[in-house]
Amino acid sequence: MKNEHIQAAVVAQPAQKRNLLRFVLSELKPKGKLLTPFNIITIPIMLVGLVLIAIRFIYGLGSVTNLSQSFPWGIWVGFDVVTGVAFAGGAYSLTFIVYVLNLKKYHPIVRATVLNGFLAYVFYAGALVLDLGRPWHIINPIIGNKFGLSSILFLVAWHFLLYMLSELVEFSPAIAEWLGLRRLRRILKGMTIGAVVFGISLSCLHQSGLGALFLMAKSKIHPLWYTEFIPLLFLVSSIFSGMSVIILEGTITHKIFSSQISEDEKAHEDEIILGLSKIAVGTMFVYLFMQGIQLIHGQKIHLLATSWGALWLVEVLGFVLAPMLLYMQGIKHKNMLTLRIASIWTILGIALNRLDVSVIAFKWYAPHHYYPSVSEVIITLTVISAEFWAFRWIVNRMPVFYEHPDFKDEAE
C-alpha cells in the first residue's frame, strides 16, 4: 500500500509540471482585442524601435544617436534612467506607508505600484545597456572593475541591482498565486517585510546616489543646478514624483482595468488620492525650502537675471510651486480633477528638472550642444511602450488589483 502511494506521487509530480508548463504557455496567448487604439499606436513604434536598436548594436552608437565624446550622456540616461527612476519613487514610498506606518487603506494599490516600480527599473536598466558604447562591460561597475569599490557608480549599480531583486520579492506572492503555488506563496509572504525594509533603504540610497553622481561634475553643470544638496533634492523630489505617478497611474488603470477592481476599492479611490496628494504637498514644500536655501547660501540670486535663471524659475516656480498650490486647492475642495491635473503638472516638472541637470544645463557653456536624434526619441518611446505592454500583460493575468479567490482565506 505504501509503495502504491509512493508510485502515485512519482507519477503525479511530472504531471503537475506538465500542467504548469501548459498553463504558462496558454497564458502567453493574447487576451482581448488586438486592434485597440493603444496597440495601433505602440506596435509601429516598437517595430521601428527594434530595427533601430538592431542598427545601434551592429553599427554602434554613432549610427542612431547624436552622442559624442563631449556629450556621452543623452536622453537615454537623462530621461530613461535619471527621470524614470524618479517616477518609480512611489514604490518605496508606498511600501513604507503600508508596511512600516501600517496605513492599510493604501494596501489595495501596493501591488500595482510595486509592479510599476519593478518594471520601470527593469526597462530603464535595458535603456542603460543601450547607452553603453560596449554593452558587455555593464558588469564593470557591479564588480568595481576600472571604477573601484569606493566609486559612486559602483554603489549606484549595486543599489539598482539589489533594489530590483527586492521589488521582485515584494511582488512575487502575486506570481505564486497566479501559478497556484500555495507553499511557495507562504514562503514569499514571509519574506515580504524583510524585502520591504531592505528595498526602502536601498531606494533611498539609490535615489540620492543618482544625484551624487553629478557632484563630480561641478565645472560642467550650470551653478543654478549644481549644489551639494543634489542628492537630497533627488531623494525628496522622488517622493512627490512617486505620489503623482501613483495618482495618474491609478486614474488610468481604474478606467482600463475597471472590471478587476472591487466596488469597495472604487469607493475609496478619492480618499487614497487625497492622502497621496497631502504627502506630495508636504514633500514639495520641503523641496522648495531646500532650493531656496541653496540659492541664498550659494549666493546665486544674481544668476536669476540671466536666460538660464529664467529657465530655473520656470522649473522651480512653474513646475513645483504652481502644482503644489494646485494640489492644495484640490485638497481643500476635495476636487479629484484638480488633483489629477496637479499630478500631471508635477510629473512634467520632475522630467524638466532631471533633464536640466543631466542634459540641458550640462556643459551649458559649450558652443555646440547635444540634441537627441529622432532615432533616440523613437527608441525611448519603444522602451516606454514595451513597459506598458508588460504591465498590461501581467495585470490581465495575475492578481494585481484583486484578491485571488483561492487565497482570500489566508491573512495578509
- Name the amino acid, one letter, at 158: W
Q: Which residues contact 119 (CB under 8 A, 6 or more apart)?
A: 387, 390, 391
Grid coordinates belonging to 58: 551592429
Q: What is the pLDDT of residue 319?
A: 97
Give the pTM: 0.88
**Reduced 3-state DSSP string for the chain:** CHHHHHHHHHHHHHHHHHHHHHHHHHHCCCCCCCCCHHHHHHHHHHHHHHHHHHHHHHHCHHHCCCCCCCCCCCHHHHHHHHHHHHHCCHHHHHHHHHHHCCCHHHHHHHHHHHHHHHHHHHHHHHHHHHHCCCHHHHHHHHHCCCCCCCCHHHHHHHHHHHHHHHHHHHHHHHHHHHHCCHHHHHHHHHHHHHHHHHHHHHHHHHHHHHHHHHHHHCCCECCCCCCCCHHHHHHHHHHHHHHHHHHHHHHHHHHHCHHHCCHHHHHCHHHHHHHHHHHHHHHHHHHHHHHHHHHHHCCCHHHHHCHHHHHHHHHHHHHHHHHHHHHHHHHHHCCHHHHHHHHHHHHHHHHHHHHHHHHHCECCCCCCCCCCCHHHHHHHHHHHHHHHHHHHHHHCCCCCCCCCHHHCCCCC
Q: What is the pLDDT of residue 265?
A: 77
- Listed residue (234, 233, 203, 218) closest to 92, CA to CA: 203
Q: Give me the pLDDT at residue 318, please.
A: 97
30 vs 44: CA distance, rounded Å: 18
C-alpha cell at 217: 561634475
Contact status, residue 246 vs residue 94, Cβ threshold 8 Å: yes
Going by C-alpha positions, the residue among 88, 345, 364, 351 that lies closest to residue 226 is 364
Checking phi first, is residue 60 left (phi over 0); if not, alpha (psi -120 to 50) or beta?
A: left
CB 42 within 8 A of CB 390: no
Cell of 336: 479629484
| pLDDT averaged per 10 residues in sequence order, the chain, 412 residues | 39 54 72 84 96 94 90 89 91 92 90 92 85 81 72 81 91 91 89 90 88 90 95 96 95 88 81 96 97 94 96 97 98 96 97 95 91 95 94 91 75 50
* Spatial contact of 253 and 395, defined as CB atoms under 8 Å apart: yes
CA angle 369, 375, 381 (to 5 degrees): 105
**What is the rounded CA–CA span in Å between residue 139 and residue 120?**
20
Question: Domains in the chain, start-ordered, CATH in brackets?
Answer: 47-404 (1.20.1630.10)
Cell 513646475 locates to 319
